[in-house]
A and B are shown apart, each in its own frame.
Chain A
């Protein structure tokens, strides 16, 4: 391989390396910011200030928490399957980086333009579920096992309407490339697919919250039911990686939602990447707001919701989208 090729910005490998570095930087900083935002929003919803003393308005809280987590002893319970136990957090975090690559932050800032970007994201987010299961099983802990079983059933149930709603949008746009789908929308809300196909947007949001195991669908983690569910036995950086992966997953689904339903980077006045971030954070704030407002759904109600309500609705929506797209929409 010619080393000079690497210095050319249109060489795919170079783009990939720069993209990965950018993604890691983005994920890291964003996780810090997002955790702080969540804790502050949670605090103010609950009539308290949230982190306040560490840095101005608690801005350095997450940094120090990350340092604390990194400094903790890595303990695995006796009788746990060490390979599975330590693979799980790594497996939770790794697909996240891949899922970031197709997100179109900006016409010039998409790390990789793939014509199957959507499929890539959906496929790799499934790996996250596998990591939950390995964690629960490998912990040698019945609470973890219950959390893992719930995680698998929940993810399975909510993948289907998620895929169907996403396919409806793909049919409307005529492409599976997130860049293309964003490009076909406009900067103004009436040009977004979110308003042209609100049912798909709603189904996608519900499934996104369920896929990322956020309340009211946080049963695998179910703090008041399962102690800590699949990550009961994790402390220190093992827990830190799960935590990070959960927030990164939130950002990914928000990014996909912004690209599919909210017009992506397009918007007046500001350059594209800023709009993308604004839209991501609006959806994130909505997801955070949901968490601190609603109690948890019961597990059979959760599965009922998915199989009996969201899937038929998503099928209906897909059929309508196909008809509309087919007749020249």
Chain B
């Protein structure tokens, strides 16, 4: 039997910083990871005066799984499924970022068919991710119905991608030099049927939801982010485009075949929550345009270069890939590990976002909390 440790009641660092001050009529609330609107990953310590929020401090880490360290224990190919889990809603984007970085450094040429397939599945994934965002956004605002319509549309995408990749959510479809398998014969007609369906639904969503007076009242003028703030905080994607900056990685640093496709970049200048909402809902339509063009231009050919486990090349590389939430997928570089280490195959060291990964034998130098004695 363990003795009860009274320091447990003291609370953690965040609660200690939020002790009630001299004026005791403020309510300290931990909008913790268990809350319907935080979706299990965010905790915010709040100091409330009635309904007004005086102080808010977010606490992160509830979904942190240390992919960087995991990558140090795996080979290139073994790590690809991890990339599907980093942002499980848009696994294709992260797959692409990782595969793209490896290909750039190793100089692996991706066949054209594979590039087109990548674009199509990535944009389908983007639509499904945005539909989840849209449904959950409105659910958090108190509208219970749009999420079911969004998931109804999303089921079509998930069925298409399941027939292509075998998974519904966390795809490991990309490989170094292309994609893992070719698309089935009915892929192109199904994609076109889907974009047609999506386009026919968007006017209804616009009329019933986007133009809803209550939604407008709750989103307009809220959470304003100026361009300067966005720049200094490092905002990208819809956060930046909602503040009036026409910056889209697909246009600025084109990867794949985006430079051959014609699509509009939605930009709204107001910088409030409604602007970002409109950017994302417009991106649904933009993605439909891209899919239509890519399906029309899908060439025949191999779906992957026959690349083995790549020779670890020198240097560092990064591929900035537009993820659905803007900018969180930048697996960066490969490093070379000399082959003189006995008993090891040539492996590469990978820079994961912000981290150096060492893929190889041997454990990380840090200690794992679960096994404190391990070197």
Contacts and interface: CB of A to CB of B under 8 A. Distances in A.
Direct A/B contact, Cβ within 8 angstroms: yes
A292 to B, nearest CB: 5
Q: Which of A142, A292, A301 has the most CB of B within 10 A?
A: A142
A276 to B, nearest CB: 30
Contacts of A225: 36-37, 140, 142
Interface string A211-231: 000011010001111010000
Contacts of A146: 27, 29, 48, 51
A294 interface: yes
Contact of A216 (B27, B51, B214): B214
Interface stretch (A12-20, A45-53, A158-166): A45-53
Contact of A224 (B36, B148, B212, B218): B36
Contacts of B144: 42, 46, 215, 291-292
Nearest to B148: A46
A296 interface: yes
Given A142-B27, A142-B29, A224-B36, A294 B212 contact: yes
B214 A295 contact: yes
A294 B216 CA distance: 12
A47 B142 contact: no
B152 A298 contact: no
Contact of A46 (B36, B145, B217): B145
Q: Which of A48, A224, A297 has the most CB of B within 10 A?
A: A224
Given A224-B37, A295-B214, A216 B148 contact: no
A142 B217 CA distance: 27
A14 B145 CA distance: 48
A171 interface: no
A120 interface: no
Nearest to A45: B145
Interface residues of A, number: 30
A75 B200 CA distance: 50
Contacts of B143: 293-296
Contacts of B367: none
Interface of A is mostly: loop
Contacts of A223: 36, 142
Nearest to B28: A142
Contacts of A215: 142, 144
Contacts of B140: 224-225
A145 B48 CA distance: 12
Nearest to B35: A227
Contacts of A291: 144
A47 B208 CA distance: 15
Contacts of B35: 227
B51 A299 contact: yes
Given A292-B145, A293-B145, A293-B208, A227 B217 contact: no
A301 B143 CA distance: 16
Given A142-B27, A223-B36, A300-B51, A294 B148 contact: no
B217 A298 contact: yes
Contacts of A145: 27
B215 interface: yes
Contacts of B50: 149
Contacts of B138: 295
A224 B145 contact: no
Interface string A300-311: 110000000000
Given A46-B144, A292-B145, A299-B51, A224 B214 contact: no
A129 B212 CA distance: 30
Contacts of A216: 142, 214
A45 B143 CA distance: 12
Contacts of B141: 224, 295-296
26 contacts: A46-B144, A48-B148, A146-B27, A146-B29, A146-B51, A215-B142, A216-B214, A224-B139, A224-B140, A224-B141, A225-B36, A225-B37, A225-B140, A225-B142, A227-B35, A293-B208, A294-B142, A295-B212, A295-B214, A296-B214, A296-B218, A297-B214, A298-B217, A299-B51, A300-B51, A301-B218
